[in-house]
Structure 1
Amino acid sequence: MGDNKGMDRRGFLKTAAFSSLALGGAAALAGCAPAAGTDGGTALSSTGDIAWDKEVDVLVLGSGTGAFAALVAAAKGAGSVCLVEKGTMWGGTAATSGGGLAVPLTYAAADAGVSDSKEEIVKYFKNASDGRVDEAVLNSFIDNGSDFIDWISEEMGWKFVASPLFGDYYEPMEGWIPMGRGSLGAANADGPMIASQMWEEMKAKMEGYGVEILMGTEATELITDGAGAVLGAVCGDQNIKAGSVIVATGGFDHNDEMRAKYHPFKIMATNAVPTNTGDGQLMGMAIGANVSYMDRCWGAPAILTTGDDPATLIAEGTIAQEIAGTDWAMYRGLPGAVVVNKKGRRIGNEAGPYDLFNQAFAYYDTGEPGHVNIPAYFICDAACWATYSLPGHTVGAVGEGDGSYFDETYGGEATDPAEVPAHFVQADTLEELAGKLGIDPAGLTAEIAAFNENAAKGTDPVYHRGEKHLDINTTGVMAGSRTDLANPVLAPLATGPFYGAIYVPGTCGTAGGLTINENAQVVNTAGEPIEHLYAVGNCSSGVSGGTYVHGGISLGSGGVMSWVAVNHAMGATA
């Protein structure tokens, strides 16, 4: 990936392949039988003696943003640290990401010549979140962000660099700046890293400090005393006593019941790991914790490549595990491509931020009651198909294809352009394509005719595609920074055959969870801290009011608030 410091653009945003890690575990302490467990999402209150199998100073639940918490605790001498991970893959969803961290007012921004201030950051977050942000928590994030980045840079030997890609998403809201807050990329001595590399290095570092890591171990209950203070947690078949418990169990993307209860429209695909089932939220609520922003997600729409029937996903409220089709901006914003609904109408600015585009699915048609944009349809023409790689369709090897971000990052041996993947349909005319996809033919042809007339001139008077900074400096880069077009992200859909695929709302994580205060302490429904309990990452209420303010906010806020949580816990127990 490109940036002003000459770093390789591939390094920071490339989606890591899922890695398989050996299943870890630890035997229960000899002679101690665990107390009888209950179903997940319940609380085990202490009404007498509890048979503890293990005692630690800090217990971290989850290895995504939880890895930051465990590392900080171990390195700063918080005492004995145990991290439990429900799955068998180290790092959870975090380790499958590009690894960019959104943290403001850092040396990386200063190195890039970015001019910014706390006042402008607060203004931007408040405007982007429609005033939903908790200003005390936001201030804590801003005030501690630079210290966290300085510390982890020294601790890990990393160098962070600011990039113009995936900057502030809500342009032109007051407080917006083009770069410097979002997606800081990390590099080690060998060069830029993606998240999987970062998480492996953190794992090795914390193991060197003696952190006990229990893989394949699910936390099911928080154990409290009679006053409601947290004493520890049930993890697998062990009761683990802890001075502080830091919950970092991720979102609830794969919990059908919770999505149906909290989300305002159907989420049909996710690239979050399957273990993200809302465990932390449910355990916290069981002991009286408050929750916030449960209606929000980190939106990541997708071309549906899994073969799932969209009608079934909608009717049954289930979700597809989608990796290849997740659309960060390298599909819908390509020249010669659009996304339309069943009426044939475009649904938004295809070159804009993925989370903002995902919000277009929330539109409710009051004339024909229903979410008319769900599902939607990706459509491109023959020129786009021949020029760009798409899921299951690769135009050439790395460095020998279209020159786009997708080809440089994911490219491999070229596929036969005549072979159409099963998740795409092909047709000689738009009318025929509409019939195959279930789109109104008259609506589609009229929409594309109007779109083409403007696209040929490089304009989009409806959604203003290509007019914003991110359109050009993120989507445009992924499209190869075209100089042969009047607008680098716009071209007519002029030549058949045409190609189409089902396009659905998705997530890379849910954005609501246990309500935290400025110390990352979980609070109850009265707003009072629950003693010894902290939450960070996607299982918490976060720092941005559930709003995807810029790329990397989930990882960045998770890291900073892990720093805040550990420092508070150490001060509180010193």
Structure 2
Amino acid sequence: MGEIKGMGRRDFLKTAALSGLALGGAAALTGCAPSTGAEKGASANASAGADVAWDKEVDVLVIGSGTGAFAALVAAAKGAESVCLVEKGTMWGGTAATSGGGLAVPLTYAATDAGITDSKEEVVKYFTNATDGRVDQAVLNSFIDNGSTFIDWISEEMGWKFAASPLFGDYYEPMDGWIPMGRGSLGAADASGSLSAAQMWDQMKAKVEGYGAEVLMDTPATELITDGAGTVLGAVCGGKNIKANAVIVATGGFDHNDEMRAKYHPFKIMATNAVPTNTGDGQLMGMAIGASVSYMDRCWGAPAILTTGDDPEALIAEGRIAQEIAGTDWAMYRGLPGAVVVNKKGRRIGNEAGPYDLFNQAFAYYDTGEPGHVNIPAYFICDAACWATYSLPGHTVGAVGDGEDSYFNETYGGEATDPSEVPAHFVKADTLEELAEKLGIDAAGLAAEITAFNENAAKGVDPVYHRGEKHLDINTTGVMAGSRTDLANPVLAPLATGPFYGAVYVPGTCGTAGGLTINENAQVVNVNGEPIEHLYAVGNCSSGVSGGTYVHGGISLGSGAVMSWVAVNHALATKA
């Protein structure tokens, strides 16, 4: 293998941005309804193991090719007698393969290479504080203790080199234990340079199959099969009974299950870029055999400019979700100079330059005076200067900032669209009053809010939400905005010049965060906290390692990968 290139700041930033760009492929996936077998109690479970006619027998069965790809790779590489991975959809890797590809793992060589000083005590402190104490300490310790070993192993196995970046670092600032970078979104490179998530997953698939493991696409798992004592013997996959010594469930979240979102989430989630096959199958199959679930009220928040043409009021009333790709706002829209997000009363709802998950939580505010979630939906608003300077969904300006070195150009550059052409999901108005009328915002409230905002923004300050004061504001949103030096604050500018532009802005997700409760071995436990023999869960169908909290970029992939390592090593009774 040729020399592995280190990943520079710009390479990593470009790779991370694929979270927004690569998702276009997910839009073509065909949705699948939740498995009726699991909902009805998994009829095959009524049969004793001896009564089941097995169509296939394997050592390790992995259900799902997102973070489950790591489990299949570890099992195949570490000598499992036979490995079978089944994927419900037709696209390998699911939502994971359309993400930014960064893995959140603490205390790795990547952090050391970047000169980061950190410790297990500080990591535990940060996770505990950021999650309000909801994190399972045993699971967290397992994640921390195994993370560095896993990164060392997969770096050797795949020929990857991971690098830390200040982009998408710790999100809960300032929490005790917080550090600016080194834990979140470790990006991978190989001899050819930076790797996108799609490239990483393609390479893992080749490795998995190279070891002789079987990959079955378009093969949904519908039931877990147990014996009379509750031990998992296998699963029904694609209508076939597959027997396994270990079943590792990695089916993702329940974004596209309207009933489950309504049951478990405290406020409406109206958009998602998770693949349509994420319908809670793993959670439902596990619950059908007595598994406990945790953190089902949480999601990996990713708010969005609604570009799909869906009526937001209909989404709310009918409890539906939009498959939103283009408008997902990682940090590149709401925090731009000359832009804000307001509610129907015209009031800003949070620090627009803050992390996407934190901003998503602003939608949860409940108005006790006029009962309801006053921030749902909200509205993205920008002025003519912002519109002329930055690309927005359906609107491309071409070059931005400092020419070829601009992150924004590398990531979102392209042939400029006609600035006079306004995409259907935006409205245009000569005045803020007219814009308020078109969007259904209280005009007087909006005028007062923008007047106060503009006076402070001209000075580079935000006394209300402190926009631009935090490390991530500057090193993520500020970078997205071109790291401008012509402003007193790189993420603040007044909305001063008409015409003005507005769009519906809604709570969204890149995956739900709750699922089957796991212990420190990634074993699924029952309602009494006892392990269900031979059953493991990783990724978004599990309770994870962070108490359902998006502690930093890449926690979904990072935790799923590390706990896949933990699960397989426990299942194979090998030393991790």
TM-score band, normalised by shorter chain: over 0.9
User: Residue 341 of structure 1: which of 332, 340, 343 is its match?
Assistant: 343
Change in Cα spacing, 1:165 to 1:8, as seen in structure 2 (3 Å) is closer
- For the pair 1:253 / 2:216, whether they are aligned, the reply is no
- For the pair 1:109 / 2:111, whether they are aligned, the reply is yes
Structure-1 separation of matches of 2:435 and 2:476: 30
Change in Cα spacing, 1:3 to 1:130, as seen in structure 2 (3 Å) is farther
Which residue of structure 2 lines up, in the alignment, with residue 40 of structure 1?
38
Structure 1 position 396, deviation (Å): 1.0
SS for the counterpart of 2:316 is: helix
Which residue of structure 2 lines up, in the alignment, with residue 330 of structure 1?
332
Amino acid paired to 1:445: A
User: Residue 179 of structure 1: which of 169, 178, 181 is its match?
Assistant: 181
Amino acid paired to 1:14: L
Amino acid paired to 2:37: D
Structure 1 position 78, deviation (Å): 1.4
Change in Cα spacing, 1:81 to 1:522, as seen in structure 2 (3 Å) is same
How many matched pairs?
559
Structure 1 position 379, deviation (Å): 0.1
* Residue pair 2:302, 2:510 contacting (<8 A) in 1 also: yes
Change in Cα spacing, 1:508 to 1:372, as seen in structure 2 (3 Å) is same
User: Residue 14 of structure 1: which of 1, 7, 18 is its match?
Assistant: 18
Which residue of structure 1 lines up, in the alignment, with residue 238 of structure 2?
236
Structure 1 position 569, deviation (Å): 0.1
Give aligned-pair identity as a percent.
86
Q: Deviations over 1:54-111 (max 9, x none)?
A: 0000000000000000000000001100000000011000000010000000000000
Structure-2 separation of matches of 1:353 and 1:313: 25
Structure-1 separation of matches of 2:116 and 2:380: 36
Change in Cα spacing, 1:234 to 1:8, as seen in structure 2 (3 Å) is closer
Structure-1 separation of matches of 2:512 and 2:351: 23
Structure-2 separation of matches of 1:21 and 1:165: 26
Which residue of structure 2 lines up, in the alignment, with residue 263 of structure 1?
265
Structure-1 separation of matches of 2:442 and 2:416: 34
* Residue pair 2:234, 2:245 contacting (<8 A) in 1 also: yes
Residues 26-425 of structure 1 aligned to structure 2 (within 5 Å): 39-41=37-39, 42-43=41-42, 44-45=44-45, 46-47=47-48, 48-396=50-398, 405-425=407-427
Give the TM-score normalised by structure 1. Answer: 0.95
Amino acid paired to 2:109: Y
Structure 1 position 551, deviation (Å): 0.2
Structure-2 separation of matches of 1:322 and 1:462: 30
Q: Deviations over 1:489-523 (max 9, x none)?
A: 00000000000000000000000000000000000
Structure-2 separation of matches of 1:147 and 1:17: 30
Change in Cα spacing, 1:422 to 1:400, as seen in structure 2 (3 Å) is farther
* Residue pair 1:60, 1:245 contacting (<8 A) in 2 also: yes
Change in Cα spacing, 1:236 to 1:138, as seen in structure 2 (3 Å) is same
Amino acid paired to 1:386: A
Structure-1 separation of matches of 2:68 and 2:500: 45
Structure 1 position 13, deviation (Å): 3.1
Give the TM-score normalised by structure 2. Answer: 0.94
Task: Give 4+ residue runs of structure 1 displaced > 3 Å after superposition.
Answer: 2-8, 17-23, 397-407
Structure-2 separation of matches of 1:493 and 1:398: 19
* Residue pair 1:164, 1:179 contacting (<8 A) in 2 also: yes
* Residue pair 1:4, 1:112 contacting (<8 A) in 2 also: no
Structure 1 position 22, deviation (Å): 13
Structure 1 position 140, deviation (Å): 0.0
Structure-2 separation of matches of 1:17 and 1:168: 24
* Residue pair 2:389, 2:400 contacting (<8 A) in 1 also: no
* Residue pair 1:398, 1:408 contacting (<8 A) in 2 also: no
Q: Deviations over 1:142-177 (max 9, x none)?
A: 000000000000000000000000000000010000
Structure-1 separation of matches of 2:413 and 2:10: 22
Which residue of structure 1 lines up, in the alignment, with residue 32 of structure 2?
none
Structure-2 separation of matches of 1:479 and 1:404: 9
Amino acid paired to 1:307: G
Residues 380-529 of structure 1 aligned to structure 2 (within 5 Å): 380-396=382-398, 405-529=407-531
SS for the counterpart of 1:9 is: helix
* Residue pair 1:398, 1:412 contacting (<8 A) in 2 also: no
Structure-2 separation of matches of 1:135 and 1:269: 32
Structure 1 position 18, deviation (Å): 4.8
Amino acid paired to 1:211: A
Change in Cα spacing, 1:548 to 1:389, as seen in structure 2 (3 Å) is same
Change in Cα spacing, 1:275 to 1:260, as seen in structure 2 (3 Å) is same
Q: Deviations over 1:10-56 (max 9, x none)?
A: 12332224559999xxxxxxxxxxxxx97234332233421100000
Change in Cα spacing, 1:5 to 1:253, as seen in structure 2 (3 Å) is closer
Change in Cα spacing, 1:363 to 1:404, as seen in structure 2 (3 Å) is farther
Structure-1 separation of matches of 2:28 and 2:388: 42
SS for the counterpart of 1:14 is: helix
Amino acid paired to 2:412: Y
SS for the counterpart of 2:38 is: coil
The Cα RMSD (Å) is: 1.9
Structure-1 separation of matches of 2:361 and 2:326: 21
* Residue pair 2:12, 2:165 contacting (<8 A) in 1 also: no
Structure-2 separation of matches of 1:213 and 1:164: 36
Structure 1 position 397, deviation (Å): 5.9
Amino acid paired to 1:342: K
SS for the counterpart of 2:567 is: helix
* Residue pair 1:21, 1:90 contacting (<8 A) in 2 also: no
Q: Deviations over 1:238-275 (max 9, x none)?
A: 10000000000000000000000000000000000000
Amino acid paired to 2:207: K
Structure-2 separation of matches of 1:572 and 1:51: 30
Structure 1 position 372, deviation (Å): 0.1
Structure-2 separation of matches of 1:404 and 1:40: 49
The 10-residue stretch of structure 1 (365-374 or 5-14) with the greater mean CA deviation from structure 2 = 5-14
Structure-2 separation of matches of 1:215 and 1:512: 25
